[in-house]
Amino acid sequence: MPRRQTPAPEEDFTENIVDIDVTSEMEGSFLEYAYSVIYSRALPDARDGLKPVQRRILYMMSQMGLRPDRGHVKSARVVGEVMGKLHPHGDAAIYDAMVRMAQSFSLRMPLIDGHGNFGSLDDGPAAPRYTEARLAAPALALTDHLDEDVVDFVPNYDNQLMQPEVLPAAFPNLLVNGSSGIAVGMATNMAPHNLGEVIAAAQHLIANPEATLEDIIRFVPGPDLPSGGKIVGLDGIRDAYATGRGSFKTRAKVEVEKLTARRTGLVVTELPYGVGPEKVIEKIKDTVTSKKLQGISDIVDLTDRQHGLRLVIELKNGFNPNAVLAQLYRYSPMEDSFGINNVTLVDGQPRTLGLLELLRVYVDHRIGVVRRRTAFRLGKKKDRLHLVEGLLIAIVDIDEVIQIIRSSDEAAAARERLMAIYDLSEIQANYILELRLRQLTKYSRIELEKEQDELRREIAELEEILANESTLRQLVSTELGEVSALYATPRRTVLLESEAAAPLRGTALPAPAAAGKNAKAALPLQIADDPCWVLLSASGQLARTVDQEPLADGQRIRHDTLLSVVKTTARAEIGAVTSLGRMLRLPVLDMPVLAGAAGSPNLAGGVPVKEFITLAKGESLVALAPLDKVLAIGTAQGVAKRVTPEYPLNREDWEIIALKPKDYIVGLSVPADDDELVFITRQAQLLHFPASTVRAQGRTAGGVAGIKLAVDDSVAFFGSVAASDAAAVVVTVASTQDALPGTSPGSVKVTPFAEYPAKGRATGGVRAHRFLKGEDVLTLAWAGHGPAKASSANGASRALPTEHGRRDGSGIPLSQSVDAVGPSLSGLSLSDPSLSGLSLSDPSLSLQEPEDS
């Protein structure tokens, strides 16, 4: 390759080397560059709240006619127009600014209506050749009246076109949409606000120019972020409103929901401003892996277009939702801080302004815009009135005007003669010369006179606006109110003075008192092993109470009652005994906590047993039982067994009795050694004997003979009664064996338990109920602490009659016993708790030792 040769200098060339100080040159060049970045790129103008690129995009789209009632055009076309005519920078920067103005999660009031993929908090937008755009309706309020000399226009970069120095801005865009930018040596970060609140504050300032910051804060209590969420602590916001600098803490909106019968989750529906769900999920997974976060088993993103944001954080059993949420606030982006730095351009100079100063700059700008618009319209009206007055003069003497024009050699001569004869101005004379023949009718004169009167009225109104400052300010306030009525939306962000005012929705537990980034959670992470009561109702509802003793008089489902109650602790396990001799292990933490007044839990708040255990065909749940006490079991064929609490630790279910064919468990209790075990059969035989006579056996044993049964007889009730309980009674209800529940009149008998003599085990016992005519079986039998109660159809407890039956041993007719209880029970019948009639509730279940029930 040939070597490049330097051309020889010309003969008259004179070398002149100028020595320049590098320091001064760098300072000057840097200052010019810094000013260019500050003024021309990075900082918004305090008047319209826009950076130059944003202003140029909106202006060019307005010039292109991309209004909301027109179709979308390719974003690349808009970017090309802006870059080629107004903004000589990269297309990527222009498109990024355009995309941000179209994102509803970035701006509180988007200014561009985007069509296509304009990105999300976690992903960028599609290329400009794929997306389409047009102006959004609020953007029209920023660009309206540009053709009425409301703002100054300046040349573009090559002095071929003109562009507005600032937009008219019919609403305070800087406060409504906020702004962010990094300049040289300074930066701005302004939070979005609610349009209705900001306009109300501006109207108040217009009406009261001497208003204080406290007056304005009454209208603008705090930012209103596009993503909603919560702002906790308002001191930093007040500092920013006063000085232009401050910070506040934002939190996600979280609710506690029951995901399944045994699982609880935290559902996130709103995140802090600028935080995307993928970022939250990734951070939570990282902190769970590093063992910083505990109690979380899974996190699922169920966000869609129909329901919006929905992050489901599934919790492990036994963890306090409030404590887990406090950890999430501390270690994940579900809590974030926003630093306010209100740096903006005022008269071309960067300044840090508070809320009151920002509103004053905007109000002054808007008053100036309306004043210039009014003056422009006044000039137009006066010019038109001048033409109309000249035209009316010509129409009055139109024949002579036509003769003057026809007799003139040229238009200039005709114009001179009209001006001389009718004392017209040159503009009026030219307008008359340009008249069309159709404007010379008599109707045209009437229209012109009407137009003249209308113009004079409008001119007077416009002059009044310019002459009276209060009228001008009132007009500005009215126009702001019209914008608010069109575009204002309800507040999205909740403002909380402190963390104590931020309860966690969906849980009755207290909210965390100190869960900030640098504060430790005040609540224990795991649910304490506090005493509780596990309840099983006759309708199959399973639940637990917290630190309260359940009473039989609580709210319940129709015909429901407490079937089994076990006193335990929140982190313990209990057993569930089925009719086929199985015991299943149940963790208490999985059970829902019942709401309701102390002592009266709402049984309707439980969860069906089938959500916790799986039963075979023909198998039913008999009772709940503690795992650390000796149990007594009675079967339908009269077998009795006491089971030692030696259960396998590595199994979820096991057998506790070896049943004979067609036999099943009837009842279960937790008796003391001196308690009496009681059998009552369908044929009304009652046997009771000391529990100590039955030796405790292992879980695989088959038990011993309890009561000797007659042919076709079976056990209807098995339980235990304290030997020292003088108030114990026996309740029996007789009916016809083939009758449907509630259809047979039957009879009921209540007898003191002490009247029944004890018999030896494996004997037939004594007669407990003499059947009346038509009765042949006991449909219900029960023995325990009395007096017993019956529950009515509305769930209220009713006392049974105190009469103990007739002397012949038969019972009182059921109709009489019901009438004695009260008219609300008329027409209803007593039956086994598992059936649909009235059920007996054992008041002993509400005593100090409910596990003995």
* Best CA proximity match to 567, nearest among 603, 533, 601, 529: 533
Residue 600: alpha-carbon gap to chain centroid: 31
Q: Using the 3D structure, point to which of 103, 135, 169 is the last residue of a domain.
A: 169
pLDDT at residue 518 is higher than 60: no
Got the DSSP string for 678-741? EEEETTSEEEEEEGGGS-EE-TT---EE-BPPPTT--EEEEEEE-TT-TTEEEEEEEE-TTSPT
Phi, psi of 59 (to 5 degrees): -65, -45
Strand arrangement, sheet containing 797-799? 797-799, 789-791, 840-841
Number of structural domains the chain divides into? 2
Distance (Å, rounded) from C-alpha 571 to C-alpha 37? 63
Domain presence at residue 301: no
pLDDT digits (tens, 9 = 90+) for 75-85: 999 999 999 99
Helix (H, G, I), strand (E, B) or coil at 842: coil
Cβ proximity of 572 and 626 under 8 Å? no
Domain containing 609: what range? 531-852
Please report the pLDDT score of residue 517 as a whole number: 40
Q: Which carries the bigger pLDDT value, residue 21 or residue 477? A: 477
Q: Which carries the bigger pLDDT value, residue 232 or residue 597? A: 232
Domain presence at residue 707: yes
pLDDT at residue 823 is higher than 60: no
CATH of the domain at 60: 3.90.199.10
H or E, element range at 565: strand 562-569
Residue 597 confidence class, pLDDT cut points 50, 70, 90: very low
Q: Using the 3D structure, point to which of 142, 169, 196 is the last residue of a domain.
A: 169
Q: Which of the given ranges, 413-422, 473-482, 789-798, has the highest pLDDT on average?
A: 473-482
Secondary structure of 309-332 in HEC code, one letter for each residue:
CCEEEEECCCECHHHHHHHHHHHC
Please report the pLDDT score of residue 593 as a whole number: 77
Give me 678's structure tokens: 């009681």
H or E, element range at 115: strand 112-115
Please report the pLDDT score of residue 262 as a whole number: 74
* Best CA proximity match to 664, nearest among 698, 622, 624, 632: 622
* Best CA proximity match to 373, nearest among 121, 189, 146: 146
Residue 434 confidence class, pLDDT cut points 50, 70, 90: confident
Helix (H, G, I), strand (E, B) or coil at 232: strand
What number is the average pLDDT over the span 397-415? 86
CATH of the domain at 594: 2.120.10.90
What number is the average pLDDT over the span 186-210? 94
Give me 20's structure tokens: 């320049």
Angle CA(355)–CA(359)–CA(361) in degrees, nearest 5?
120
Q: Which of the given ranges, 30-39, 360-369, 568-577, has the highest pLDDT on average?
A: 360-369
What number is the average pLDDT over the span 151-179? 94
pLDDT at residue 130 is higher than 50: yes
pLDDT at residue 723 is higher than 70: yes
What number is the average pLDDT over the span 516-545? 71
Describe the crossing of helices 398-407 and 355-396 by its angle, rounded to 10 degrees: 80
What number is the average pLDDT over the span 150-165? 93
pLDDT at residue 503 is higher than 70: no
Q: Which carries the bigger pLDDT value, residue 283 or residue 26? A: 283
Give me 602's structure tokens: 């709402």
Please report the pLDDT score of residue 146 as a whole number: 93
Domain presence at residue 325: no
Please report the pLDDT score of residue 203 as a whole number: 96
pLDDT at residue 794 is higher than 60: no
Give me 370's structure tokens: 């309306």
Got the DSSP string for 501-525? G---BT-SSPPPS--STTS--SS-S
Residue 545: alpha-carbon gap to chain centroid: 28
CA-CA-CA-CA dihedral for 758, 763, 764, 767, to nearest 10: -10
Q: Using the 3D structure, point to which of 141, 169, 197 is the last residue of a domain.
A: 169
pLDDT at residue 300 is higher than 60: yes
Please report the pLDDT score of residue 502 as a whole number: 52
Helix (H, G, I), strand (E, B) or coil at 762: coil
Please report the pLDDT score of residue 398 as a whole number: 82
Please report the pLDDT score of residue 773 as a whole number: 82
Residue 166 confidence class, pLDDT cut points 50, 70, 90: very high
Residue 804 confidence class, pLDDT cut points 50, 70, 90: very low
Please report the pLDDT score of residue 853 as a whole number: 26
Secondary structure of 325-374 in HEC code, one letter for each residue:
HHHHHHHCCCEEEEEEECEEEECCEEEECCHHHHHHHHHHHHHHHHHHHH
Q: Please, which residues have CB within 8 angstroms of residue 744's CB and are 6 or more apart in sequence?
A: 735, 736, 774, 829
The residue type of 636 is A
What number is the average pLDDT over the span 447-476? 94
ω before 68 within 30° of 0 (cis)? no
Q: Which carries the bigger pLDDT value, residue 555 or residue 406? A: 406
pLDDT at residue 812 is higher than 90: no
Domain presence at residue 302: no
Cβ neighbourhood burial of 294 (10 Å; 0-12, 13-18, 19+): middle
User: Which residues are marked as active site?
Assistant: 130
pLDDT at residue 35 is higher than 80: no
pLDDT at residue 122 is higher than 50: yes
Cβ proximity of 749 and 804 under 8 Å? yes
Domain presence at residue 520: no
Q: Which of the given ranges, 495-499, 578-582, 598-602, 801-805, has the highest pLDDT on average?
A: 578-582
Got the DSSP string for 166-181? S---SS-HHHHH-EEE
pLDDT, mean over the chain = 83
pLDDT at residue 592 is higher than 90: no
What number is the average pLDDT over the span 229-242? 93
Got the DSSP string for 414-443? HHHHHHHHH---HHHHHHHHT--GGGGSHH
Domain presence at residue 384: no
Please report the pLDDT score of residue 2 as a whole number: 55
Domain presence at residue 311: no
* Best CA proximity match to 46, nearest among 141, 166, 218, 198: 166
Domain presence at residue 413: no
Cβ proximity of 558 and 793 under 8 Å? yes
Residue 599 confidence class, pLDDT cut points 50, 70, 90: very low
pLDDT at residue 204 is higher than 60: yes
Cβ proximity of 696 and 630 under 8 Å? yes
